[in-house]
């Protein structure tokens, strides 16, 4: 078990030789391990580089399992990070999670656990995910990586006749993300745009798996084939209210387009000041005309959106 004070090293899957070296160096807490760089930990414990890597990884995994708060890395490639929206979400956490003790929510400094990086070109993006992000993951400081967006840099840095070169860089970037996800058991969320398909020889095969929307991923199938789970968020006509707070939001639908472990399903949702909320099967605030259209297209009656 990991705690802020002493740590039970025998609970970790480590070579007894590594545990003995750590105890001899008088290192007692997970935070102390994670705060030290690899070279510093080597000098302190006299362990090899590979042993220190194993130690960092084992402590980080255990620390994440027992820590009540974990962080995220948000990598921007287009606009600046929406800091005003983040502050709004933080102030509304009590409304979003009324089932939690208010004292607990007030005690958490959410902004301290979010690491923001802006990558202006592909070189900076690759350096970020291959060098800086692994440091945060190995120290147990974050458990989520968000890239917003993938398409921006790949579309702007390559010409139309450089498809092969673009695909090569894209596959290298995807391989790096897969390694991060596998090595640190970390979900990676990549935001990508889609493009409308106006016409084509076979429009039925150009809808990205969406019956009512003829769209394609902006980076084509070369990128689409790299992802494990594909989600689509659609904005629907009409607005819906929260009821208690009296606010309104545009009606949206979140759909599982592809996932090896999930059924093809979707749910209705809305975005308010406090964040995203699922909606019941038939949101009362939706206008009658919109409700009739949703019933006709089969967009209602799916699940409760929770």
- Of 219, 217, 216, nearest to 199 by C-alpha is 216
CA dihedral of 277, 281, 283, 289, whole degrees rounded to 10: 130
Task: Kindly report the CATH number that applies to the domain delimited by 68-191.
Answer: 3.40.50.300
pLDDT at 2: 38
Which ranges of the chain have pLDDT less than 50?
1-5, 201, 203-206, 210-211, 243, 287-306
pLDDT in tens, 239-296: 887 645 567 888 999 999 889 888 889 999 999 988 998 887 665 555 444 444 444 3
- b vs e for 62-74, b when ≥16 Cβ sit within 10 Å of the residue's Cβ? bbbeebeeebbbb
In whole angstroms, what is the distance from residue 102 CA to residue 93 CA? 9
Hey, what are 53's tokens? 């890597």
As a whole number of Å, the end-to-end CA separation of the chain is 32
d(CA 229, CA 268): 19
Predicted pLDDT of residue 158: 87
Please state, in angstroms and as integers, the Cα–Cα distance from residue 113 to each residue in 71, 72, 76, 144, following that order.
4, 7, 17, 11
């Amino acid at each position: 078990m990991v705690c802020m004070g002493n740590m039970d090293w025998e609970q970790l899957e480590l070579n007894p030789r590594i545990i003995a070296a750590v105890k001899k160096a008088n290192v007692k807490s997970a935070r102390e391990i994670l705060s030290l760089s690899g070279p510093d930990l080597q000098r302190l414990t006299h362990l090899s580089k590979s042993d220190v890597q194993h130690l960092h990884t084992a402590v980080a995994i255990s620390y994440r399992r027992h820590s009540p708060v974990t962080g995220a890395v948000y990598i921007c490639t287009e606009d600046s990070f929406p800091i005003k929206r983040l502050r709004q979400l933080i102030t509304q956490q009590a409304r979003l999670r009324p089932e939690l003790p208010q004292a607990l929510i007030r005690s958490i400094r959410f902004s301290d656990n979010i690491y923001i990086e802006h990558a202006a070109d592909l070189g900076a993006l690759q350096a970020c995910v291959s060098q800086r992000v692994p440091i945060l993951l190995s120290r147990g400081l974050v458990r989520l990586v968000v890239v917003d967006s993938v398409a921006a840099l790949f579309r702007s840095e390559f010409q139309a006749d450089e498809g092969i070169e673009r695909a090569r860089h894209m596959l290298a970037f995807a391989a790096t993300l897969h390694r991060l996800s596998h090595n640190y058991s970390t979900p990676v969320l990549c935001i990508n745009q889609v493009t409308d398909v106006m016409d084509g020889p076979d429009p039925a095969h150009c809808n990205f798996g969406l019956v009512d929307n003829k769209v394609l991923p902006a980076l084509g199938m070369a990128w689409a084939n790299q992802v494990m789970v594909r989600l689509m968020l659609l904005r629907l006509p009409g607005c819906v209210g929260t009821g208690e707070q009296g606010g309104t939001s545009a009606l949206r639908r979140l759909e599982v387009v592809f996932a090896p472990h999930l059924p093809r399903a979707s749910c209705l949702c809305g975005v308010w000041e406090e964040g995203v909320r699922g909606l019941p099967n038939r949101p009362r605030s939706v206008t009658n005309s919109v409700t009739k259209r949703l019933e006709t297209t089969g967009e209602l009656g799916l699940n409760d959106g929770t």
